[in-house]
Amino acid sequence: MRLAGVVEMAEIQVAVSGAAGKMGSAVVRAILGAPDMQLAAAIDTTHIGEDAAVLAGSKPSGILIEKDLPAIFSKKIDVVVDFTAPTAVMSNIKAALEGKAAVIVGTTGITSVDLDQIQEWSLHYQNPVLVAPNFAVGAVLMMYCAAFAAQYMNQVEIIELHHDQKKDAPSGTAIKTAEMILAAKERVQTAALAGSEKVSGVRGGDLGGIHLHSIRLQGLVAHQEVIFGDLGQTLTIRHDSTSRESFMPGVLLAIRKIRDYQGLIYGLDKIMGLSEPG
């Protein structure tokens, strides 16, 4: 029933790139269940011609998997959500911006050089791009809390744990966490290494004095511990995603809010309105 004098908001037209993948399928299901969104297109290099909703375990939608991202812009697309691969993501972002769509990127492996290029494209085509290392709201809060704690605790190390099919290490979340800690803390005191490493690399990678450790195992989804140490005490901040559905509230939030921004937005914390700790 429509109430007189009430203007209905148009549904957000969303395309999913990487729609046949595990994350892409979860995004398709989330969009189909959102009352203010419509699945407008689905793109992948596999399952071409199949119904994207059926592939994601839902009722038929009539939206068939297409191979070429540029071809979808014969119709109105407001937002493109990309969960593909590091080898494809940059060309996908450019194609989406050329199609006059805002872009939300969950694909991992994006470098600082890539971010500079995305910022340039975003400003040129006058459409925003969100690159988020993690869409789980709890993970964003974990990073925020870690940056706050870093101002008061002496030493810190990061352990990230993911499924064995994840292609990059360390995770984008671990890198983003380390960057936030470094921004919040004037100096990170690296834990002293007594003796020598009996196995090369056993102390993990080093990012600005913070040791990062990556674990890849079957049975995991996405998990991270930030362990702080100081005189006579430790503090552990941990987040666990036990299913890919944990990322969907953050994805939907980003779809709803991205057009309130301009240029490159790095991190879901900006969309959530979190200020810098401290």
Q: Which residues are catalytic?
A: 162, 166
Please state, in angstroms and rounded to a whole number, the distance separating the CA atoms of residues 112 and 110.
7
Please state, in angstroms and rounded to a whole number, the distance separating the CA atoms of residues 59 and 46.
20
Tokens of 269: 């914390």
H helical segments located in the chain: 22-32, 52-55, 89-98, 112-125, 137-149, 172-184, 248-257, 268-272
DSSP, collapsed to helix, strand or coil, labels residue 22 as helix
Of 77, 131, 69, 129, the C-alpha closest to 106 is: 131
CB 129 within 8 A of CB 93: yes
- Cis peptide bond upstream of 133, omega within 30: no
Tokens of 264: 């490159």
